[in-house]
Chains A and B, each alone.
Chain A
Amino acid sequence: MSTIVDPSTNGHAGNGAAGGEPLVRLRDVTMLFPVRAGVLQRVKGHVRAVDGVSVDIMPGETLGLVGESGSGKSTLGRVAIRLLEPTKGTVHFDGRDITKLKPSAVRPMRRDMQMVFQDPYSSLDPLTQVGQSVAEPLETHDSMSRAERETRVAELLSMVGLPAEHLHRYPRELSGGQLQRLSIARALTVNPRLIVLDEPVSALDVSTQAQVINLLEELQQNLKLTYLLIAHNPSLVRHASDHIAVMYLGRVVEQGGSDDVYLRPKHPYTRSLLSAIPVADPLVQRERRRIVLEGDIPSPTNPPSGCRFHTRCPWVMDVCHTVDPEGYVTPDGSVVHCHLHTTGPTLAGETVLSLPMPKGASSPT
């Protein structure tokens, strides 16, 4: 039997530690982008980038947001720090409703919420010295003298492990890893409470990724930061997050503790995603039975009816074509949107791994 999710405990039902208030609370957030076409640029339809998402981010923790193209994860990140105003739904930060604030009212709040972007090479103005770029938040939010600013920037550079003389360099003189650290330094300048990390290491090499992730974790410990980590590599997200939310075509299909989601996925998409990552061991990789999804990810302009994943789901049932699944709270505290838990084989909270492999799954070569 399905349990209607109680929004106040979304994703944390049964999680005894969650006594406090979430730092960020998103409820039924929907973000629609108009699609214009024709000579008169009339609105023909909408891109349903985010469609009814509710998540909480607890202070001091990391929520990992995993998904592929069209999942809406980057858009959700931007809504969470009010770079975008959601079409529907609410955004609460530290208990305060910031959904409808005008940009000028949001500006002072920017001290508390910052963002680090994916591409280190274009995140910093190429014509400005990096020290200047890192100090930019100070100009808007603080009134420090020039000397005080330089001290603060030097302090930040050392916090991220860069030598102080880099102050005067230009972005083109530095590597991707160094630039990403500078972006992190810039985000820390005015002591934020929340940082949204939008694919912070995707553009970096494996060994540099490790350095930056370790740095982020260290900073979180020392400065009591809260992170929203957006990434497409589930292993990395599992390593770095306390909770994970998996997104597909604008919806959160599964969310829960990172180990629960990673080791005991409850949604077919989560399982397929995890299964698609190749394992760095030829013997294991070639013997694995993997799920290779057929077809492309549908367009967010025209999402499938019923459960959005039904066009590619290996365990699709009739009900999936017509009814959008409600959230189901599992015994270990995860929330999953899938009919398998309430009809058909009725997993009732069990992991999808317990189901037999569907026909058409890839067999070992």
Chain B
Amino acid sequence: MSRGRGTIARAWSRYRKNPGAMIALGFLVLLGLVALFAEAIMPHDPNKQDLVNAFQKPSGDHWLGTDDLGRDMASRLISASRVSLRISFQVVGSALLFAIPIGLIAGYFGGKIDNFLMRIMDGLMSFPALILALAVAGILGPGITNAALALTVVFVPSFSRLMRGQTLAVRQETFVEASHSIGTPSRRIIVRHVLPNAISPVVVQTSLALGGALLAEAGLSFLGLGVQPPDASWGSMLRRSYDFIFTEAWMMLIPGLAIALTVLSFNTVGDGLRDALGIAGVSRRERKERRGLTTVVRGANGNGDATAAAAAASPTPTLPPPVLTEAIRERNAKRTDESIDASRPLLSVEGLEVSFQTPRGLLKVVEDVNFAIFPGETLGLVGESGSGKTVTSLSIMRLLPSPPARVTAGRVMLEGRDVLSLSFREVRELRGPTMAMIFQDPMTSLNPAFTIGNQIGEAVRWHEPINRKQATKRAAELLDLVGIPTTRLGAYPHELSGGMRQRAMIAIALACNPKLLICDEPTTALDVTIQAQILELMKSLRDELGMAMLFVTHDLGVVADICDRVAVMYAGQIVEQAEATALFHNPQHPYTEGLLKAMPQDTKPGEALYVIPGRVPSPGEHDIGCRFANRCAYAKVECGQQPIALGTADDEAHLSRCIRVHELTLGKAP
């Protein structure tokens, strides 16, 4: 019965890649061996006195010199290592023996048991460590055993609190509830499911605590409460050397360095474990790259060249002409302070390619993406998870985190400038007045520590030189615009419902009256009736303010409601692009047809739902030709032979990445 062995193996391989952590681990292993085989390694008897040769400097005979009684420092250091290390491990080990069950039980069962146990822990924690140790030593007498006991008591509360916190978090996970519903008894759930999932931070803390225990023991022994002569620990060696600090200062260095190096190694191992176990925190490498601006490294993709060559060989298809409906004309008319050329795109994405740095190398997740958004129009970007739609939308604003994301090819032309070539400052100036974004989950996108009035005001003040009072006034106007009562200016995000929070986010995005609004699944997390409200709001705002929109979603119903034109994405590419009605009534790609047929609204009850067989390929997993071919009912041999470009289907406004498009008759039909 293997229990997470795969996880340990993975953690180890991650740990191995960290050179500092490996060195530290090596040092500790070496130290452990030295302590274990102390008798064999020691050159002399550590207790043998030789007063004639006292205070000798390091020499061939005595590698680290001799102390005040002529005893060999090196041998004392080695034999002391055993004592110091043993105490560290003993203290931490016994602390864990108590703390883990206490934390698990308190966290899992809660209520009175939790209260009882934690108040005891609080009581113990309220004593400063050293005072507690002194008290124990005072009652039970000095000596290593008692010192170890005192230290154990000191370490138990913090470990148990950590364990309890982790247990509380894991207890809420669905798989714990699932085990309940199966009927698994509590004790088995705790040991088998909760403990392994909760233990990682405790493992990291253990390593750090070992260092702490070593220092604590050294401190106690330094005070004379720990190890008693003639036995030696590093702490007691430090004590003796301290007596001669004015005459033989070098003597303190030796145990001091030993302690310092060991504690440093424990800490480094702890850091390495934290990275290897994937506990929250940015690794050193990540911190180097800039946050808030996706890195653009054109041509970084040496592999997968066939596609690049094909894309280069076939000319970029001329983008479909704008569809100038009455509605769009009216929207453009609203932007009175700008001169709008409705025939030229506001945003033009050309040949966009985005890759992610993974342990397996650079993987392309978005490839050969071309589309344009004209002033006043709403383009829908539809796809399932793994299609690349969110990555595409984030890369337009250069908001993908780097690492691991990199834009590896293409241009994003906004008002004549390539966003991908701009500096951070230039991009920041565009964000807000020219383009703005709203995200899927308003709870995590709004800052929980600030009121919504504050956050909206901040958005305005970044781009306009107004003072706080004016900003508050603007914020109130915006709240009014999005339908939030202005009395809620001082509300925090958690005080608002999901729909209100989304409205607040819309207000922030609209603060500087952007020309382009990018929406990444803004209604997916909302209830159906609230979704209807928010969509109505967005439509009326778009019409009133004359904004263009890029609307990313997986819901075809929403697309039908709000979008003028649609682009369908699959496995990182656009597979079809058309005006909205044309897409729904006359799909020109088998994938689009499949999506339309799978909708439950159109299936008779009692009939099985239409299923597209197979599943979406992961990045890098697809073959050279059409990426949908292995799931396509119409696939032929030619489909898999070479990369397929996006070409015109029925008319120049309708594009499809299917080479058989002119032969096939697609549609929702029975």
Residues in A lying within 8 Å of B, measured CB to CB: 68-69, 81, 83, 106-108, 110-111, 114-115, 117-119, 122-129, 132-133, 136-137, 139-141, 168, 170, 175-177, 183, 186, 205-211, 213-214, 217, 232-236, 238-240, 258-259, 272-273, 275-286, 290, 292-294, 296-297, 362, 365
Contact = CB atoms under 8 A, between A and B. Distances in A.
Contacts of B183: 106-108, 110-111, 137, 140-141
11 contacts: A136-B182, A140-B184, A206-B554, A206-B598, A207-B612, A210-B611, A239-B603, A273-B528, A278-B555, A280-B557, A296-B497
B499 interface: yes
A239 B605 contact: yes
A296 to B, nearest CB: 5
B529 A273 contact: yes
Nearest to B180: A83
A297 B527 CA distance: 10
Given A140-B182, A207-B594, 17 more contacts: A69-B527, A83-B181, A115-B181, A118-B174, A129-B6, A137-B183, A170-B6, A205-B385, A206-B556, A207-B611, A207-B612, A282-B581, A285-B560, A297-B497, A297-B527, A297-B529, A365-B327
Contacts of A186: 178, 182
Contacts of A126: 175, 197
A127 B598 contact: no
A236 B196 CA distance: 38
The 5 closest A-B pairs by CB, nearest first: A278-B557, A110-B183, A68-B527, A127-B4, A276-B532
Contacts of A175: 615
B608 A214 contact: yes
Interface stretch (B19-27, B54-62, B202-210, B533-541): B533-541
Nearest to A146: B1
Interface of B: 1-4, 6-7, 173-175, 177-185, 188, 192-193, 196-197, 327, 384-385, 497-500, 527-533, 535-536, 539, 543, 554-561, 563, 580-581, 584-585, 594-596, 598-603, 605, 608-612, 615-616
A124 B177 CA distance: 10
B609 A296 contact: no
Given A206-B598, A278-B561, A213 B182 contact: no
Nearest to B534: A292
A170 B465 CA distance: 54
Contacts of A259: 605
B605 A258 contact: yes
Contacts of B605: 238-240, 258-259
A136 B601 contact: no
B526 to A, nearest CB: 9
A125 B197 contact: yes
B528 A107 contact: no
| Interface SS of chain A | helix
Given A125-B175, A206-B595, A296 B500 contact: yes
B601 A283 contact: no
Contacts of B499: 296
Contact of A276 (B193, B531, B543, B611): B531
A279 B174 CA distance: 33
B170 to A, nearest CB: 10
Contact of B4 (A81, A128, A273): A128
Contact of B498 (A69, A107, A139, A214): A69
Contact of A296 (B180, B530, B612): B530
| Most interface-central of A170, A281, A282 (chain B CB within 10 A) | A282
A199 to B, nearest CB: 11
A186 B11 CA distance: 28
A211 to B, nearest CB: 5
Nearest to A110: B183
Contact of A117 (B178, B184, B556): B178
B384 A205 contact: yes
A207 B598 contact: yes
A210 B595 CA distance: 10
Contacts of B536: 292, 362
Contacts of B2: 129, 168
Contact of B527 (A114, A176, A232, A294): A232
Contact of B599 (A140, A141, A206, A258): A206
Contacts of A214: 608-609, 611
B178 A123 contact: yes
A168 B1 CA distance: 10
B177 A278 contact: no
A216 to B, nearest CB: 11
Nearest to B591: A207
A276 B611 CA distance: 25
Nearest to A81: B181
Contacts of B385: 176, 205
Given A123-B175, A210-B609, A282 B560 contact: yes
Given A128-B4, A296-B497, A205 B182 contact: no
B554 A205 contact: yes
Given A122-B174, A293-B529, A207 B384 contact: yes
Contacts of A297: 497, 527, 529-530
| Most interface-central of A81, A177, A275, A280 (chain B CB within 10 A) | A280
A1 B142 CA distance: 90
Contacts of B596: 280
